Homo-oligomer: A and B are copies of this chain.
Amino acid sequence: MRFPLFSTAAAGYNGKNIIVFSGDLDKAIAGFIIANGSAAMGRKTSMFFTFWGLNILRKPDKVKVKKDFMARMFGMMMPRGSKKLSLSKMSMGGIGGKMIRGIMKKKNVESLESLIQMAKDNGVELVACSMSMDIMGIKPDELIDGVTIGGVAAMLAHAEESDMSLFI
């Protein structure tokens, strides 16, 4: 006798769904720490990067792609990749971010870059929002490896297999 759907857990509804809207360093760190914790518990974990959150997934180096004027301007104004992000508070011209990174290193907390790598190694699904890419003029080649591209419907479908959704 099987009870496949009697509890949300048994039914497979224990995924974790994290929408990363913000491109702030501290919020990105928080999102990846939660995602890695979830993956360590064996949960299907998905992160959906939209709006400013897309910047976290940008390659640090300039990638040669065709862009119109607006997309080029946006691309220049926004931080290119995880190392360029600022804090949401006490940024102080970038000093705050450097302080946090220094302390994390000293306390043996993984850097954002390590956290991203861990997430990929642990099977966390990293999805870049297709509509945001279109609006902000970011091309697939400009994103780090291991990222898939998806829309809001895919994110909502994952939410329905999850017992936790966050908007970060």
Residues of A within 8 A of B (CB): 3, 5-11, 13-14, 16-17, 19, 21, 23, 26-27, 30, 33-34, 37-38, 40-41, 43, 50-52, 70, 74, 77-78, 88-90, 99-100, 102-104, 106-107, 109, 131, 134-137, 151-153, 155-156, 159-160, 162-168
Contact = CB atoms under 8 A, between A and B. Distances in A.
Task: Report how many copies the assembly holds.
Answer: 3
Contact of A107 (B78, B135, B151, B162): B135
Contact of A9 (B6, B153, B160): B160
A26 B51 contact: yes
Nearest to A6: B5
Given A164-B17, A165-B165, A165-B166, A37 B6 contact: no
A104 B135 contact: yes
Contacts of A89: 23, 52
7 contacts: A7-B11, A16-B159, A37-B156, A52-B88, A159-B163, A160-B163, A166-B166
A152 B34 contact: yes
